[in-house]
Amino acid sequence: IPGYSDYLHPYDENHIIGIGKDVDESIDADKIHDPNAVYYTAIQGVKLALFDVSDVANPIEVSKYVIGDRGTDSIALQDHKAFLFDKNKNLLVLPILLAEQKNKTSDYYGDYTFQGAYVFDVTLDNGFVLRGRITHQPDNDTLLKSGYYFDSEFSVKRSLYIGDVLYTISDALIKMNDLATLAPINAVTLPIAKEPVYYPGPVPLPMTVGIAVK
């Protein structure tokens, strides 16, 4: 099964969902350094996979969906709380930082073109079907990156639903969309700290402060 999963989530008693990266097995096929290594050039976009694990020793990939090109990422790969799934609603939502390559033969990462929530319908019959995307980014200029790193107060980090409303959350906004159609409903602007927030720690007292001992 090409690729790998950073996070596994149960779908039902015989199936699991994997979230990770796709791997192009044709790249670095000569393995000039280490026959067992997977080089960064072979690692592609974010991969969603649905596995049949009825036979745990022989899992079968029954469906997959690959998002973007090399450089595409999701905080759900490191933080499972960013992953929203409800089997009864056939709903899967996860934040995606999308990178796309203009030159598919390049060894470089793609350019960032989108950050926000990808919303999927998930069923055993149809696999992953993209319902739509929700972004908090005010414009694409905010996606301009320095090197291979991007972050923004408008980066979607969490999602949840209440009733028929899907909420996506960044440091700057809480956005509300219709759960069925993803039509926008409303948004709430959140206060953003203007100064860096540091972890609290011991602070030395000035020399003028002391305790008189008699």
Domain that holds residue 28: 4-140
Q: What's the CA gap between 146 and 130, in Å, rounded?
A: 30
Residue 36 belongs to some domain of the structure? yes
Residue 116 belongs to some domain of the structure? yes
Residue 28 belongs to some domain of the structure? yes
Q: What is the pTM of this model?
A: 0.80
> Over its length of 214 residues, how does the chain's per-residue pLDDT go in tens digits?
666 778 999 999 999 999 998 877 666 555 545 555 555 567 788 999 999 999 988 989 999 999 998 889 999 999 999 999 999 999 999 999 998 888 766 667 788 889 999 999 999 999 999 999 999 998 776 666 545 678 789 999 999 999 999 999 999 999 999 999 999 999 999 987 666 556 566 655 555 555 555 5
What CATH number has the domain bearing residue 66? 2.40.128
Residue 153 belongs to some domain of the structure? no
Tell me how many domains the chain contains.
1
Bridge partners of 128? 122
Residue 169 belongs to some domain of the structure? no
- Give Cα separations from 53 to 6, 8, 57 (angstroms): 17, 12, 8
